[in-house]
Structure 1
Amino acid sequence: MLLVVDVGNTNIVLGVYKDDKLLYDWRIATYKDKTSDEYGLLFEQIFKYHGLCPRDVEDVIISSVVPTLMHTLSAMSIKYFNSEPIIVGPGVKTGMNIKYDNPREVGADRIVNAVAGYEKYGGPLIIVDFGTAITFCAISKDGEYLGGAITPGIKISSEALFLRTAKLPKVEISKPKFVIAKNTINSIQSGLVYGYIGLVDYIIERMIEELREEGEVKTVVGTGGFSSLIASESKYINKIDKLLTLEGLRIIYGLCLQYVSSLKATFSNNYKGDDHEDWKS
């Protein structure tokens, strides 16, 4: 089995694959102060609840936008799953040409989403990830990562409104029936939800215009926790794929295996003979 782990600022999404089939997926809260043992025991409990054995995990791949958790989860993987994890980042083969000014600045989650999106839907393509931040990613017809935009997520805006005003309450993020609301709670919900629908659609509209040379953008994918809420009213989002990141991790894992296999084949062809047999082990 393959354990895939996507670490976001608010949630950690993890899943277990058997070959190309996703067996289970889970979403847990991100706690930056948890130790590797605390995460390991939590993962073990989740596995055992579903009748899975951690020892059946053969490999682990992780993408993260929380640098402080990278060592923690790497140590957890080694101790509880007996596997040195693949960490998605610079140097890891993704099969995607990144057209950013500095490719190292692109978040691992954005690249993972782009790899999965292009594999599943082709290009040109726009992906909108509704996480702690909302990220917009543009992929060319040839599968190149062209860039995108980043805005504060809807939850960040809701919390900022509550913290920076004296009288406005903290509200549940849900879509009210009308934009013209009749009470304070619905007014805040209206501003947040319909305001973000407008924000999302305008950015997508501009991206479609700028991608005109790539051809017609037939697919705009929404992913992440709030994707369904916004996509239900969006003029442009026509696919909801909440597990896009997990699929991208599985694809990148497969590419890494192919790369390692090709390296072994190259060395095997270049170093034949008894004097060089020991490296293969």
Structure 2
Amino acid sequence: MLLVIDVGNTNVVLGVYKENKLLNDWRIATDKDRTSDEYGLLLEQIFKYHGLCPSDVKDVIISSVVPTLMYTMEAMSIKYFQCTPLTVGPGIKTGMNIKYDNPKEVGADRIVNAVAAYEKYGGPLIIVDFGTAITFCAVSKEGDYLGGAIAPGIKISSEALFLRTAKLPKVELVKPERVICKNTVSSIQSGLIYGYVGLVDNIIERMKEELSREGKVKAVVATGGLASLIASESKEIDVIDKMLTLEGLRIIYERNV
């Protein structure tokens, strides 16, 4: 089995593959203070609960946007799965040409998503990842990573509104029935949800214009924890693919063995 691990700022997303089949996937909170033993014991419990055996894991691949957790995850992999992990970073074979001013600046998650999306949907295409930040990535017809845009995630905006105002409460991120709301909680929810729908659709529309020389965009793919919340109202998003990052890790692993 192959264990794939994507370390994000808010969540660590994990999956176990047997050949090309995803057997199980999990999402746990990212904790920069948690030790390799704590992560390892947690994964042992998760595996046991789902009837999986850690010794069946023969390889591990990790992508991370949290540098301080990279050593932790590598140590966990070696101690609890007896595997020296493959890490997504400079020197790894992705099969994708990175046309960024400095390719090392591109987050590993963005490359992983782009690899999976191009493999599944072809190009040109746009990927929107709803994580701690919202990232927009463009891939050319030939499969080159062209760049994109980054915006604060909806949770960041919600927290900032609560922390920087004296009377506005923290709210649950759910979609209100209408934009014109008659109480403060629903009004905040309206501004956040429908405001971000407008942000997302506007950026996608502009990216499509810039990609027009590549031909018609084949797909706008949404992924990430809050993808369903925004994509359900978006006019520009074509498909929600929650497992895109895990699938990208599997594909990159196969290109390096």
| TM-score under structure 2 length normalisation | 1.00
Residue in 1 aligned with 2:137?
A: 137
Partner in structure 1 of residue 33 of structure 2? 33
Which of structures 1 and 2 has the bigger CA Rg?
1
Contact kept in structure 1, 2:121 and 2:218, CA below 8 Å: no
**Is contact 2:128–2:134 with CA below 8 Å preserved after alignment?**
yes
Counterpart Cα distance in 2 of 1:127 and 1:25: 21
Structure 1 residue 178 displacement after superposition: 0.5
**Letter in structure 2 aligned against 1:77:** S
Who is 1:68 aligned against?
Answer: 68
Query: What is the alpha-carbon distance in structure 2 between the residues aligned to residue 81 and residue 40 of structure 1?
Result: 9
Aligned 8 A contact 2:124 2:141 in 1: yes
Residue 100 of structure 1, CA deviation: 0.2
Query: Cα offset for 1:35?
Result: 0.3
1:84 aligns with 2:115: no
Matches for 1:232-271 after TM superposition, within 5 Å: 232-257=232-257
**Alignment deviations for residues 217-270 of structure 1 (CA, whole Å, 9 cap, x no partner):** 13100000110011111111010001100000000000001xxxxxxxxxxxxx
2:162 counterpart of 1:162: yes
In the TM superposition, residue 202 of structure 1 has moved relative to its aligned partner by 0.2
Deviation string 1:129-153 (CA, Å, 9 cap, x unpaired) is 0000000000000000000000000
Unaligned segments of structure 1, at least 5 residues? 258-281
Within 2, Cα distance between the matches of 1:161 and 1:89? 35
Cα displacement string for residues 122-178 of structure 1 (whole angstroms, at most 9, x for unaligned residues): 000000000000000000000000000000000000000000000000000010000
Does structure 1 residue 150 correspond to structure 2 residue 150? yes
Q: What are the superposed Cα offsets for residues 50-81 of structure 1, whole Å, 9 maximum, x if unpaired? A: 11110000000000000000000000000000
- Map of 2:208 onto structure 1: 208
Which amino acid is the alignment partner of residue 239 of structure 2? K
Q: Deviations over 1:22-56 (max 9, x none)?
A: 00000000000000000000000000001111000
Q: Equivalents in 2 of 1:144, 1:63: separation in Å?
A: 20
The one-letter code sitting in structure 1 at the alignment partner of 2:85 is P
Distance 2:55 2:231 in 1: 39
Q: Which runs of 4+ in 1 moved over 6 A?
A: none
Distance in 2 (CA, whole Å) between partners of 1:81 and 1:112 is 23
The higher relative CO (CA closer than 8 Å, separation ≥ 6) is in 2
3-state DSSP of counterpart to 1:6? strand
Q: How far apart, CA to CA, are the structure 1 residues paired with 2:227 and 2:158?
A: 16
Give the Cα–Cα distance (whole angstroms) in 2 for the partners of residues 90 and 179 of structure 1: 45
| TM-score, reference length from structure 1 | 0.91
